[in-house]
Amino acid sequence: MAASGATSLDHQDFGLAGKSAFVTGAGGGIGRAIALSLAKAGVKLALFDLVAANLDETARQVRDVGGEATVTVGDVTDRAAVRAAVAAAAKHYGRLDCAVNNAGVLGPLVPTAQYPIETFQKVIDVNVMGVVHCLQAELELMEAHGAGSIVNIASAAGLIGWAGASAYVTSKHAVVGLTKTAGVEYAAKGIRINSVCPAFVTSPMTSDLMAAEASRNAVLAAVPMGRIGTGEEVANAVKWLLSPLSSFSAGLNLALDGGSTVI
């Protein structure tokens, strides 16, 4: 609940009540926060991730807040699995209104010249081709009924450089460019495609960085707000971009970074 008795955004539906949404990487972290926020807005969810137990826990939490969710275990690098899961979501709910392409990996922090090429390729496969597979499946269904809203989870690392994270930075720059291009292509077809670009956010992906004092201090020093973000803050931005309240936004890459990309 917000301060001073104000109503939390979690209790506003943003015009999304009754809509359906496909969410990848929904088993924890930012993906779980997004799923819960959308559930509280009355969105019917189709959740996709690699680990069944994590997905089941997200679905349990969704149902605990009165939401509805189906779960599918799968890998976003598997094009056939993604297409089957998206089609199943649309069949179950009658259509696919929204999608959040969130699944991603960080990879190791290694200087570019020493970065293991197989690991670099894995980061690209998950973070770029995973989004491509999802977008193609989602757009095919949305284009058929002339409406839809998609949010890709990019990163502040898609807007700036980050020493040691060449694979991750490359992949997220690609997601930013893909969002711009697809956003332009489909804007006139009733389908809006945007992204959010979070900086460091509390999640399993950042837990190791924030656990060590030296790296934690370096992260906090780089953020003018002096803190990292929360999954709920990302979820609020996603909810706005999916909703009719952002009806004039297409191809937008929205920074959620505490000011870190403007210094």
Angstrom distance (rounded) from CA 11 to CA 186 = 30
For tokens 């699944």, name the residue: 103
Catalytic site residue from 93, 115, 168, 186 = 168
User: Comparing C-alpha atoms, which of 121, 99, 120, 89 is closest to residue 38?
Assistant: 99
Q: Using CA atoms, how far apart are residues 204 and 213, in angstroms rounded to an integer?
A: 17
Specify the amino acid at residue 81.
Answer: A
What is the rounded distance in angstroms from the CA atom of residue 49 to the CA atom of residue 28?
A: 9
What is the rounded CA–CA span in Å between residue 139 and residue 42? 23
Q: Which amino acid is at 123?
A: V
Strand, helix or coil for residue 46: strand
Question: 115 an active-site residue?
Answer: no
Give the number of residues written for the chain.
263
Helix, strand or coil, per DSSP, at residue 97: coil
State how far the Cα of 166 lies from the Cα of 116, in Å rounded to an integer: 11
**Strand ranges (E), the chain:** 20-24, 44-49, 68-73, 98-101, 148-153, 191-198, 253-256
Active site positions, annotated: 168
